[in-house]
Structure formats: C-alpha cells, structure tokens
Chain A
Amino acid sequence: MNLTTKTLTQLSQSFQAGEITSREITDAFIKNIKAKDGDINAFVTTTFDLAREMADAADSRYKEEKLLGPLDGMPLGIKDNICTNGILTTASSHSLKDFVPPYDGEVWARLKAQGAVILGKLNTDSFTMGASTETSAFGVTKNPHDLTRVSGGSSGGPAAAIAANMVAGAIGTDTGGSIRQPAHFCGCTGLKVSYGRVSRWGTIPMASSLDTIGPMAKTSQDCALILQCIAGQDKKDSTTGHQEVPDYLRHLGENIKGMKIGIPSEYFVDGLDDDTKEAVNSAKAILEDLGAKVIEISLPHSKYGVAAYYIIAPCEISANMSRYDGVRFGTRVGEESYEEILTESREAGFEDEVKRRIMIGTYALSAGYYDAYYRKAQKVRTLICNDFKEAFEQVDIILAPVAPTPAFKIGQNTDDPVKMYLEDVMTIPASLAGITGITTNIATSDDGLPIGVQLLGPAYSEERVLNVGHQIEERIRG
C-alpha cells in the first residue's frame, strides 16, 4: 500500500481507526522525500528526527486514547516564512539563512497543539517576493510534472511537495496569488483565506495589508481539515476577525443547486492559453450539471490590479524590510560602525527582487510622489473592492482562470520583472479586496501540465468555496 498517494483525510481516518501508525505514515513520506527532493528541491530544511519523535508521541496518544484531533500524527510541511521554535526559518533569504526563531508562529503553534508532525520547511521566493521560487536563496523548486518548469510561487515548495507526495498537507502564504498560482502549476488544491481569517503572528511579513496564510493539500476536504485547526481570532494579531469559525467539513457536500456562479469577462484576456480557457469551460459544465446557474459578470477595474498592487505591496515591503538592519537578528556584515553594518548587511542579505521592491516602495512614498502613486493606488484598490462587492450582489461564487498559462519554463521570466509581475494578473484583484479563493485542479494540458481554476467567494465565506471546490473534485475524481 502506497501511503503517500493517499489524501490527508484518508490518512487521518486510517490512523484514528488504528489501521496504521503515525510512524509508518511519517516514515513513508521521509522515504519519498529522500528519493525525490534531490531533483525537486521543495525543502529548505528537513526535520526527520523531530518528525519521527512527534510521530511516536502521536502513536502513544493513540494507545492511551488521548488523541488531540484529526490532524494528530499527520506529517505536514510548513512554508519557510513561518516561524518554528528551534527550527531554522530562512524565508528563503540570505538575510535569515541562519535564523532560528525562539518561538512558534501562531499557525504552527495551533497545528502542533493538535499533534501535527513537521517534516520540514518548504521553499519560497526570497521573503515570498516572486511567482516562481526562482528568487529563493536556496535555488528554484522544480515542477514535479516537468523538471524543466517552475513550481510557481511564492509557495512553490509547498505545492511541489504535495504534488510529489512528499507531505500529506502544507501551510502556504498568499499575498498576491502565492498559494493559488503554485497550486495551479503543480495540480493541487490551495486555499487563500480572507484577510484576517488566520493569524499572521509569527509569520515573516511581506505586505501587511495583503498577507494571508492558508492550507494547501491534495483536496478541498484536506484543506478544510487544516483550516479548521488554524482559523480564528488571535489576540496577538489585531487584524484577525471575531467571526465564528464554521464547521468547514460539515459544509462539504451541501447541495449547490440554484447557486449563482459568475465568470468575469475581463479575465479572458489576450494571451490566455487555450487549455486554460478550456479548463474554465469544463468547470462551468460540471457546476451546471450540479445545478448551479452560471452567468457572465464584469469586474471592470481588474486591469488595474497589477499596477495598484505593485505600488501598494512595495510601499508596505519597504517599511517591513527596514527591520533587517543587521542589529538584532539576521545576517550581520561589518563591525566598524552602525552605518556600515546597516548597508553591508542589507547588501549581503537581500536578493535583487527584494531590492527592486524596496526601491519602488521608497520611491512611491517619497516626497512629491506619495499622492501620484501611493494615494492613487489606494483609491484604485477601493474601485477593485467595489467591483467584487457589486459582483457578489449578483452571484455567490466567481469562477476564473488562475494564471494566463500552465507552469512556465525555468528562467523564462527572470530577466524581465514586469513579465513576472503580470503572472499574477488574475490572482491579485482578490488579494487587494481581501476575499477568499481556492484553486483546484481541473485538467491536464497536452504537454502533461496541470491546469486549475480559482473559485472566489466574499470575505469569510471559506466554507462556500471549499464546498464548491470539493464538489468539482468529487465529480472529476469520481
């Protein structure tokens, strides 16, 4: 029996029924990582000894009938921008290449409290700035479906680890599409939660008004299982909402007959790949077959999303990155003066993409440009929020492509930052509006590359997007 191809839900059920031990499951994943990750490079750090220890503890809890929850004994991977006490946390950057946090980020603290097992830390673009993991200080994560292509980004490590059966589930982060796009490229499921649904405490920040943390796994059901554990208000993150956390699993399978689904005409731009277009049509056909009503809608300001994002995000980044001064933590270079430490450490610690974004942010926030760039972008953000508000008065869910194409070739966009930024054209608007969205795999291209679609819902409607994602998956996978 190959344990690693099973879903998290199946593994959890088998473990809770006493059919298999956590140690057996964990060892199976470790074996797979050892066999495959040399080629794929999804992990920055592996924690096999700790994983075996945690698995044995879960097995003891099973024997004592003291299991902590459905994730007890389940081996997961955590994106490397989430702090893990005593475990190297690099954000795939040179700045933090030796950084071992003295505390757990809230998400990992909650998972650990439920008995989850950690297999290691997963690769990302440096400080999550990128759409391909090519800006990582530890090398690109290759796409398991074609090793000449990227896994997407920034959560390329988590997506590839799931696709290659190296983890049962993972935690990623999504600021402008960083969960949804890699899930599309690697053929797994990834949930971008509403802004504030999951605590950001202990996650290395990129753009604080946009950053979200969410589950990635083989199915929507698996994502629901993980979300149940990590969602909810946290006093340590004042942006988390007080909304009650629904029973996500209970909503899976709810009848969607009569549900209204909108397809935004603006997302069918020039350059949208035929297979990707076809995937949206396949999803539409499945939803209609399930009794949903699919109509065309308009999100008229979508075309401004990337431009607004690449002002707002860099402005927030330029402020957030000021903490990497070589004084309190991270790489320190130089010893003569404070000024020397500051500039030399930043020079040694920041990859080019990080420098680019800091400079764009610094420029847009500087005297004389603030109104023309930052204030203007914030106004456009309002227009994009309003687009979604109006759309959700007509429909319950929005169905759209995730990216213009399936996974692109390694190196294809690295010399052209603007081209790389445009990769996120279809995921950014939802991020600016702070709403939720899920990517689920629908089809395979002629070249054998996975293609997903995204299902977007209003803020705090995770149970709805998970349910629709689940029903599509059930229909496809029978």
Chain B
Amino acid sequence: MSQQTIITEEEVRHIAKLAKLKLSDDEVKKFQGELSNILNLVGMLEEADTEGVEETSQVTGLTNVFGADEVEVYEPQQEDKLLECSTLPKTDHSIQIPKIM
C-alpha cells in the first residue's frame, strides 16, 4: 500500500469477476488507470498513526436493537398486487428466473 500502488490489468479483471462486472478490454485499460489513481489517493492513510486506535464501523452509539417477533399474514392477492409494479416475467405469484441447477 505504498504511494506507488498500481493495480495491474490482470487484477482489474479479477476484481471485475469477483464483483460480477463484465468489462471490455477498453474498460479494463481505463479502469486500470483510474483505480490506480484512486488507490494512490487512499494510500495516504498509511502515514496516519493508528497505533492502539479502535475501529469505528458505525456512529449511532446503539447496540443490539431488537424488534418484536410478530407473524404478519401475507395473502397471495397481496403478492400479485406487489408484482404488478414489476416489468419482469412472472409465473405462479412469483417473478420468473431461468433454472439455476
């Protein structure tokens, strides 16, 4: 994570694969440069002294907020009403997708 961090085209392809993004060869080139610049920018954090500093993942000061465990009845008619707003293909009160298995 030095100031010279440069991400390779191969790494860009690997990340895109992990993130389920399909990139053209031109896009890989473009993002390789841009992502390298961004990683150089964020690389400045290296100089910040964080010895013994706790991490902050949220700032609410709240812990373990629970809701009541209540059953809500959902009628098929309601599902159809919800599905009305979708432009995707539908079947049997559901949105249709191709076979996965």
Query: Could you list which residues of chain A lie within 8 angstroms of chain B, going by C-beta atoms?
Result: 86, 98, 100-102, 195-196, 209, 235, 238-239, 241, 301, 303-304, 306-308, 310-311, 318, 322, 325, 327-329, 332, 335-338, 341-344, 346-347, 350, 355-356, 358-360, 362-364, 366, 372-373, 375-383, 385, 416-418, 421, 433-434, 459
B75 within 8 A of A: no
Q: Quote the shortest CB–CB distance from B76 to chain A (angstroms).
A: 15
Report the separation of the CA atoms of residues A363 and B45 in the bound assembly, to the nearest whole angstrom.
16
Q: Give 28 CB contacts A-B under 8 Å.
A: A102-B82, A209-B59, A239-B60, A307-B41, A307-B42, A310-B38, A310-B42, A311-B45, A341-B97, A344-B22, A347-B21, A355-B21, A355-B31, A356-B35, A358-B19, A359-B16, A359-B31, A372-B1, A373-B45, A376-B50, A379-B48, A379-B53, A381-B56, A382-B53, A382-B54, A385-B56, A417-B38, A434-B60
What A residues does B87 contact at CB under 8 A? 98
Q: A311-B42, A332-B88 are in contact. Are A338 and B97 (CB under 8 A)?
A: yes
Size of interface on B: residues with Cβ below 8 Å to A: 50
Q: Is the CB of A329 within 8 A of B22?
A: no
Residues in B whose Cβ lies below 8 Å from that of A416? 37
Question: Please, which residue of chain B has its CB at the minimum distance from the CB of A194?
Answer: B59
Kindly state the separation between the CA atoms of A98 and B53 in the bound complex, as whole angstroms: 46
Find A363's partner among B35, B60, B86, B97 (CB 8 Å cutoff): B35
Contact A239 B62 (CB under 8 A): yes
**Measured between alpha carbons, how far is A358 from B34 in the docked complex, in Å?**
13
Please determine whether B65 and A238 come into contact, CB atoms closer than 8 angstroms. Answer: yes
Q: How far is the CA of A372 from the CA of B54 in the complex (A)?
A: 15
Q: Choose among B1, B23, B37, B65 the residue that contacts A418 (Cβ–Cβ < 8 A).
A: B37
CA distance A383 to B45 in the complex (A): 12
Interface centre among A301, A350, A380 (most CB of B within 10 A): A380
Contact between B48 and A366, CB atoms less than 8 A apart:
no
Q: How far is the CA of A360 from the CA of B33 in the complex (A)?
A: 13
Q: Complex: how many Å from CA A375 to CA B86?
A: 39
Alpha-carbon distance between A346 and B16 when the two chains are bound, in angstroms: 11
Query: How many angstroms from the CA of A327 to the CA of B94 in the assembled complex?
Result: 11
CA distance A311 to B57 in the complex (A): 12
- Tell me the complex Cα distance, A322–B18, Å: 11
In the bound complex, do residue A373 and residue B85 qualify as a contact, i.e. CB atoms below 8 Å apart? no
Contact across chains for B56 and A359 when beta carbons are under 8 A apart: no
Chain B residues within 8 Å of A329, by CB: 86, 88
Contact flags B50-85 to A (C-beta < 8 A → 1, else 0): 100111111111100101000000000000011011
Give the chain B neighbours of A338 by CB distance below 8 A: 97-98, 100
Cβ of A209: which chain B residues have Cβ within 8 Å of it? 57-59
Question: Which residues from chain A contact B35 at a C-beta distance below 8 Å?
Answer: 356, 359-360, 363
Inter-subunit contact B56/A378 (CB<8 Å): yes
The answer to whether A342 touches B34 (Cβ under 8 A) is no
Pick from A196, A332, A358, A383: contact of B48, CB below 8 A. A383
Alpha-carbon distance A375/B37, docked complex (angstroms): 20
* Chain B residues whose CB sits within 8 angstroms of the CB of A328 once the complex forms: 88, 95
- Collect the chain B residues with CB atoms within 8 Å of residue A356's CB: 31, 34-35, 38
Residue pair A383, B59 in contact (C-beta under 8 Å): no
Residues of A within 8 A of B53 (CB): 379, 382-383
In the bound complex, residues from chain B placing their C-beta under 8 Å from that of A301 are 48
Max chain A C-beta neighbours (<10 A), residue from B55, B56, B58: B56
